[in-house]
Amino acid sequence: MIDQKLIIENPKLIAEKLAKKGCIVDFKPFLELNEKRHALILSVEAAKAERNRLSASVPQVKKEGGNVQEIFAKVKEIAAKSAKDEEELAKVEEDIKNFLLPLPNLPDDDLLPGGKENNKVIHEYGKPIKFDFKPQAHVELCESLGLIDYARGAKMSGHGTWVYTGLGAQLEWALLNFFISEHLKDGYKFILPPHILNYESGFVAGQFPKFIDDVFSLEKVEPRKFILPTAETALVNLHRDEILNEDDLPLKYFAYTPCYRKEAGAYRTEERGMIRGYQFNKVEMFQYTTEEGDQPAFEELVTKAIRLMEKLGLTFRVSKLAAEDISASMARTYDIEVYLPSVGIYKEVSSVSTAHDYQARRGKIRYREKATGKVKFAHTLNGSGLATSRIFPAIVEQFQQADGSVKIPEVLRPYMGGLEYIKPIKK
C-alpha cells in the first residue's frame, strides 16, 4: 500500500504520480476520513485520560467521605461514549484501508507516463540474425526435431499447452539446470515453494483483491486458494508478518516453479507455439533489502538476467517500461526481451522490478535498524532468471542450421551429455 503520510502531506503530487499509471483518484474522501480518524483518536485518548483521572481520585474521595458512586457513574458514562467512538474509529480505519487497497504503487519519478508506446529500449545485445537460407519458425522446427508435441498437448489439455518430448524435455531441463547453477554461484538461496497459495499471499503480492480473476482459483477449497501465477507471489510471502535484522539484509532467494496463468496466447503468428501458454517454467530471483539497498539490488538483478542471456549467446535487448506498462505493485520495471527471427520482433523473457515498500506494507514485512533500533518497512524486488517458454523457441530459431538442425548453446551442453546439435528425426 502507499504510505498514508505521503498522501496527507501532498495529495496533489500523489494524484499526479498515479495518473502516470492511468489511475485517476480523488483524495478528498480519504482526507475527510483521515480528519475524522484524527478527531476520534483524540476523543478516545481524552476519554481514557479522564477515566484514569477519575479512577485515581477514588481513594482520596473515600478518605474525605465523599460520594464515590458519582465517580463510578461518571466513569461508566465516559466508557460508554468512548466505546461508541472506538467502534466508529474501527469503521473509519476499515474505510481508509478499503480506499487505499485498490491503489497501485507509485511509479518512480523518471518513468514516462502511458503504456507500451512509451517504453524505451536502453540497451541492445547483438544484431537480428540474417540467414543465408530460408529459416523456419520454432513451431515447425520443434515438430521436425521431435522436441515438442503440440497436438497431444492440445488433446490432453486444450489450446495454449504443449508436451516436451525427448531432447526437447532435456533441453528445457538443461536451461533450468543452467539457471539454477548460475544463481547458486552468486550466493542466492534455492527455494522450492508450494504451488497452491492462500488468499493472503495474493493480497501481499498486490494481485488481490483487484486482480483475483486473473489467477486459477480453487473455488471449492475453503479457505479460498489459488495456483501461483509466478514464484514471486510465493517468495514475497516468505517473511510476511516478520521483523528481520538489518544485518541479515539483503536476503537473496531464487525459486523454480511452473507458472500458471489464465490468459494464454491468441492465434496471432507472434503467439504461436510456446510463446504464450497457460503453463510455463520459470526461475525467479527475489531480494529483501533496506531502502538504501533497493537501487543496488535492482541493478544486480538486471545484470544477472543480462549475463544469463549473454552466456546463452542470444540476441536480445533491455527496455525501460513506461508507468502504465508496469504491474500495479511495482514502481519500476526493466524488461529483457529476446529476438524471434520468425516474426522479427522481441519478446519479454525477464521482468526485473522493484516494489519499494509497497508489498512490505501489505505484508507487514519489516526490519530493525541496527543503529537506532527503529523498525522500518523492507523493500522487495524480483526478476525472472529466466522464463524458458520464450528462451526455448529463441534458441531453436536463432541457432538453426541450413540442414534443419539446431546448434545447442555451449553452456547447455554439459546438461545434455555433451550433445552439440539436435538433428531432424529421420522418417
pTM, two decimals, is 0.91
The CA distance from 54 to 368, in Å, is 39
Question: Can you give the pLDDT at residue 159?
Answer: 80
Question: Can you give the pLDDT at residue 74?
Answer: 85
The CA distance from 67 to 58, in Å, is 9
- Pairing assessment for the beta strands 243-245 and 421-422 based on DSSP bridges: unpaired
CB 388 within 8 A of CB 176: yes
Question: Can you give the pLDDT at residue 219?
Answer: 80
Give backbone dihedrals phi and psi of 51, rounded to 5 degrees, phi first: -60, -45
The CA distance from 305 to 311, in Å, is 10
| pLDDT tens-place string over residues 30-69 | 999 999 999 999 999 999 898 888 888 888 877 777 777 8
Instruction: For the domain covering 116-422, report its CATH number.
Output: 3.30.930.10
| pLDDT tens-place string over residues 384-410 | 999 998 999 999 999 999 999 999 999
- What average pLDDT score do residues 297-323 get? 98
The CA distance from 106 to 176, in Å, is 34
